[in-house]
Amino acid sequence: SSSSSSSQGASAITKQELKRYDRTDFSWSDEAQRHLHDTFHLREFRPLQLRAINLTMSSKDLFLVMPTGRGKSLCYQLPALCSPGFTLVVTPLVSLMEDQIMFLCSLEVPAAMLNASSSKEHAKTVMAAMADPKSPFKLIYVTPEKIAKSKLLMSRLEKAYKAQLLSRIAVDEVHCCSQWGHDFRPDYKMLGILKRQFPQVPLLGLTATATSSVLQDCEKILNVSQPLTLTASFNRTNLYYEVRFKASDRDGSLNDMASLIKRKYLGQSGIVYVFSQKDAETVSSELQKQDIVAYPYHSNMDAKDKSRVHRKWTSNKIQVVVATVAFGMGIDKPNVRFVIHHTISKSIENYYQESGRAGRDDLPADCIVYYGFADIFRISTMVVMESVGQQKLLQMVDYCQTVDRCRRSLMAVHFDEVWEEKDCNQMCDTCRHRNDYNSVDISPHARQVVQILELAASQDEKLTPLKLLEAWSGKGPAKHRKMIQITTLGRHDAEAVLVRMLLLGYLREDFSFTPYTTHFYLKLGRKAPLLKSATHRLSMNMRSSGAAVKLRVVGDKERSKEPKPAGQSSEDGPESKKAKRGLS
């Protein structure tokens, strides 16, 4: 099953009782079903939508936690149509509000909004409508600062409440209440007034990102006592996750990507995420050279150009948007068949969000990330100021390095969930290549690296990852070459060893700042001294196809290659074998 639910708080509706809210024989059930089809033009409810709607229609206070794009809005929009009066919706951003009003308008659902830029005239009309039983508005959107600052609005809401026209309060992005969340907004702190003044009105809080401590905080701030919490699984079962290796010396990913887009994804819509604005320009022009209709998107473009690219992509006139992460909010295209990361994301959470824009229509879609050694350090210098930025980046690197565990199970821990590997259904590359890896002993190689760094330190020299690689492969200054052991490993394996050492703490990162840039160096980590002992061993798992030829396989762990399941990799381009080599 793709979703689960849990109830928290002392109101403790049991699982059994919760199940009752999946029924379709409530007094509003027929009307709800009719609106689903005729107003929203949707075929059926997604997991937990019906339950959430029945709970809020039953006047329960409810927190709904669901991944972005799963359809939280429907859980208050549809009940609004089945209830008298109107639903008050609190939304943090005017742009989100405008999107919703436009959407509802296209469905002929009467809705209005109040924000800082509303004209006096408009505000007057909307506020008057609140206490008017003949008002057409079923949903009224407001920003939190309106609630915090407008006495007039509060007095109108009082009036509506007394007239029993305020049927429900929806607080979107409810995690903004909590200072522990990632997106705290001070005005959300004031929303406690709503439940205090309107205790009889059911409140529905919605979010895609909330841990239980954040939710507890929201509960206090909003003055709701013992709300129910429904949590949908974050496991996107229709998405196929894959990591491909990207060579550092030349951008081999470009040809690989182009051939994927031209063959496997011919005529299908997708996003390529890149690291920088410059990359957005260069990668899109490279793809254009290969006759792919690709356009860049980044925050340095004119608003006009950005919305043009977005619009043309939405209407399938552009196949691929090559974008920085600025391309994200408000993207609600259902038929995105692939999201390719030309560069790794800065954290697994970010990767989940960005790749999650694929397959919103529940049909199969691919999420591919190209993983290259040099990119780690490009991103490292970017996240250096974030308190746990480095740690999160290394988790992403670890996700990419891993060859022996389901990619889903690696993601799940970041959502406090457990997704069983068996539930992956071979919808990730590691599950498909289940036994295609070897455990190799990298201790002798790691000792060589330590020797180089010790030598550098003794000469008061700092080594960037690239300089370290050069020294190790005998391309450094002549004075070094005599004193160190030059590696027999190919570039890719050498990089893999360095990353493994970094992940395990045998190496660590070191930064230095100049007025213009941040420099990134590799140094010995806290575990490096362990390698002094001749018996200390360090191993790593590597794909057996292709790479690791020079690396000694540990013990009897050599595994037999299983035939690949039918129906995959045959449609990959000719470049993909090369790109998949080794780490991936």
What residues are annotated to the active site? 72
Between 9 and 328, whose beta carbon lies closer to ligand ADP? 328
Give whichever of 48 and 431 is closer to Zn ion, judged by the CB atom: 431
Site string for Mg ion, 54-73 (x = CB under 5 A): ------------------x-
Q: Which does 42 bind (CB under 5 to 8 A by kind): Zn ion, ligand ADP, Mg ion, none?
A: ligand ADP
Sign of CA dihedral 141, 207, 27, 14: negative
* Cβ(166)–Cβ(201) below 8 Å: yes
Name residue 168's beta-bridge partners: 87
Q: Which of Mg ion, Zn ion, ligand ADP, none binds 71 (CB below 5-8 Å, type-dependent)?
A: ligand ADP
Least distance from ligand ADP to the Cβ atom of residue 103, Å:
8
> What CA–CA distances, in Å, run from 122 to 112, 149, 156, 510?
9, 18, 15, 56
* 520: phi then psi, degrees, rounded to nearest 5: -120, 125
Is residue 290 within 8 A of residue 283, CB to CB? The reply is no
Q: How far is the CB of 175 from ligand ADP (least distance, A)?
A: 13
Minimum CB separation of residue 203 from ligand ADP in Å reads 17
Taking the least distance from each CB to ligand ADP, the nearer of 282 and 335 is 335
Minimal distance in Å, beta carbon 332 to ligand ADP? Answer: 5
CA gap 248, 343 in Å, rounded: 11
Q: Which does 472 bind (CB under 5 to 8 A by kind): ligand ADP, Mg ion, Zn ion, none?
A: none
End-to-end CA separation in angstroms for the chain: 28
Q: For residues 391-420, which are near Zn ion according to CB under 5 A?
A: 406, 408
* Residue of this chain nearest to Mg ion (CB atom): 72
Contact letters for Zn ion, residues 419-438 (x by CB under 5 A): -----x---x--x-------
**210/442 with CB nearer Mg ion:** 210
What does the alpha-carbon distance between residue 538 and residue 2 come to, in Å, rounded to a whole number? 38
Distance of CA 254 to the CA centre of its chain: 23
- Partner interacting with residue 74 (select from ligand ADP, Zn ion, Mg ion, none; CB below 5-8 Å by kind): ligand ADP
Q: How far is the CB of 177 from Mg ion (least distance, A)?
A: 16
Whole-angstrom distance, CA of residue 470 vs CA of residue 455: 14
**Binding at 424: pick from Mg ion, Zn ion, ligand ADP, none (beta carbon under 5-8 Å per type):** Zn ion
Query: Applying CB under 6 A, which residues contact ligand ADP?
Result: 42, 45-46, 49, 66, 68-74, 332
**φ, ψ for residue 171 (rounded to 5)?**
-110, 105
Amino acid letter, 320 = V
Q: Which residues contact 105 (CB under 8 A, 6 or more apart)?
A: 111
Q: Which does 491 bind (CB under 5 to 8 A by kind): Mg ion, ligand ADP, Zn ion, none?
A: none
Is the CB of 169 or the CB of 406 nearer to Zn ion? 406
**DSSP H helices in 360-413:** 373-383, 389-401, 407-412
* Closer by beta carbon to ligand ADP, 22 or else 332: 332
* Exposure on the CB side of residue 96, measured as CA atoms within 13 A: 14
Whats the size of the chain, residue-wise? 584
Cα torsion through 53, 57, 61, 66, rounded to 10 = 10
Which CB sits closer to ligand ADP, 69 or 270?
Answer: 69
* CA proximity to 532, closest of 440, 442, 450: 450
**CA of 322: how far to CAs of 263, 278, 347, in Å?**
18, 11, 20
Find the shortest distance in angstroms from Cβ 64 to ligand ADP: 9
Please give the size of the binding site for Mg ion, defined by CB under 5 A. Answer: 1
How many residues lie near Zn ion (CB under 5 A)?
5
Q: Which residue's beta carbon is nearest to the bound ligand ADP?
A: 71
85, two tokens: 């009066």
Residue type present at position 116? A
Contacted entry of Mg ion, Zn ion, ligand ADP, none for residue 45, CB cut-off 5 to 8 Å set by kind = ligand ADP
Please report, for the chain, how many H helices and E strands are present, in that order: 23, 17
CA dihedral 347, 353, 357, 361 (to 10 degrees): 130
Query: What is the nearest approach in angstroms of ligand ADP to the Cβ of residue 32?
Result: 12
Residue 428: name its binding partner from ligand ADP, Zn ion, Mg ion, none (Cβ under 5 to 8 Å by kind): Zn ion
In the complex with Zn ion, the residue whose CB is nearer, 21 or 419, is 419
Shortest Å distance, C-beta 69 to Mg ion: 8
Q: Are 99 and 131 in contact (CB under 8 A)?
A: no
> Which residues in this chain contact Mg ion in the complex, by CB under 5 A?
72
Instruction: By CB under 5 A, name the binding residues for Zn ion.
Output: 406, 408, 424, 428, 431
